[in-house]
Amino acid sequence: MSFVLALDQGTTSSRALVFDRAGAVKAVAQQEFRQIFPHPGWVEHDAAEIWATQSGVLYEALARAGLGARDIAAIGITNQRETTLVWERATGRPIANAIVWQDRRTAPQCDALRAAGHAETIARKTGLVLDAYFSGTKLRWLLDNVPGARERAMRGELAFGTVDTWLVWNLTQGAAHVTDASNASRTMLFDIRAGDWDDELLALFDVPRSMLPRVVASSGVCAQAKVGDVDVPIAGIAGDQQAALFGQACHQPGLAKNTYGTGCFLLMNTGGTAVASANNLVTTVAWQREGKTDYALEGSVFIGGAVVQWLRDGLRIVRSAAEIETLAASVPDNDGVYFVPAFAGLGAPHWDAYARGAMFGLTRGTTAAHLARAALESIAFQSAEVLDAMQKDAAITLTELRVDGGATANNLLMQFQADLLGVPVVRPKVLETTALGAGYLAGLAVGYWKDAADVAANWQQDRVFEPGMKRERVAELAAGWRRAVERAKHWAE
């Protein structure tokens, strides 16, 4: 019996999961790594540490499953998107720390491009909002600020990649320099309709084409990974949110999911049509398989579950993330307290790189429990704003929201989300949908699963959260949230 191995390289940890044919988890291994904050608004990762942790959990997961590399039919890769790495082709050594998707250092560069009138061209070609979130300005910053980098890039000595590219490079010992279409669509350098790197955009960001990886399908054998002395096909690659959309069996237009991870990412499948957003969402490649490209509308919330991590590590009001639900549930409501967790600016639909985190409505009666509740509610408020914009863009009224990610284990949060949206929130039995989506894309490419219907049949619901709050109360809470967001905007300008 063979299995599929999924490598899930996230913002705070590297994970490896082994799946069987039913989509059940046979084994999992996980390792956190350092978050580096050199200046306010800057976020970096050590690229060598990303690879060391990912390589380590790969072998750990196989050991826990009692398997060898020969038992693996294919490897699927899913990754934190937009995080930008540059390394030496000759040695594989990074020239600097990776600049993480949350990093805001290039916001002034985006302002300058916007002032010069380039936002419309970027949106039309890439489907993206001109923002420091995406890779293009991060790559330009590295070329402009690492001594000698631009000259070396012009000589063809340097390679650029998002995290998927970095993992494949290392898994193949430098033999493959590739990315898939879903990750390429997050760089601000890729024309999503033409399906290729765009020369006008490369000139705009001053990026040599020689640095760029070859774009491959999201589902298809693109390289052979060296796992010990065994070659294992790398057959699936997708950015984490697109992988979760696939893993949630949202294979038809109109189906949507929200992933509650470090950030929150709401995606709606729009099929073969790249729907241009009129409400500050982004249009992205969902996946490319069997010669076809599917697209999605996406709204990105920068700080979702990371707010719980901050309460644990920054304020230390809980010892573990799991404690926050009990603490928040110890009070009946937020008592007028709102928490806008704009630690890295605000994403969709606001796109304010200069917003900063803020709490409002504090009184002498405010307790740690109210802060915990306001923090959880902030995750749901932000997601509800995105979903409202998405329904306007797609002219589709959602009938349910499928959810995944670590924070979906929090029943209080899921119930509040259903109350805000006024539609059922559906939690699947397997919450590992990001890794599962990468596994499915890989397995489909090698015939481990027959077709998309075969993998969709594995999807099962665990619990449905039905909305129960009166709409008047929802309107009152939402109005308070909007007031708080307006006050947090433009703070760092």
pLDDT tens-place string over residues 74-84: 999 999 999 99
**Nearest alpha carbon to residue 175 among 213, 209, 217:** 213
Which pLDDT belongs to residue 321? 80
282-289 and 264-271 as β-strands: parallel, antiparallel, unpaired? unpaired
Report the predicted TM-score, pTM, of the whole model to 2 decimal places: 0.86
Residue numbers of the chain with a pLDDT score lower than 50: none
Give the orientation angle of helix 368-394 with respect to helix 471-488, to 10 degrees.
100
Residue 245: the pLDDT is: 94
**pLDDT at residue 1, as a whole number:** 65
Cα gap 165→399, rounded to integer Å: 37
The rounded distance, in Å, linking the Cα atoms of 298 and 242 is: 10
Give burial (CB, 10 Å; 0-12/13-18/19+) of 474: middle
Greatest alpha-carbon span in the chain: 64
Are residues 317 and 371 in contact, defined by beta-carbon separation less than 8 angstroms? yes
User: CA 247 to CA 256: how far, in whole Å?
Assistant: 12
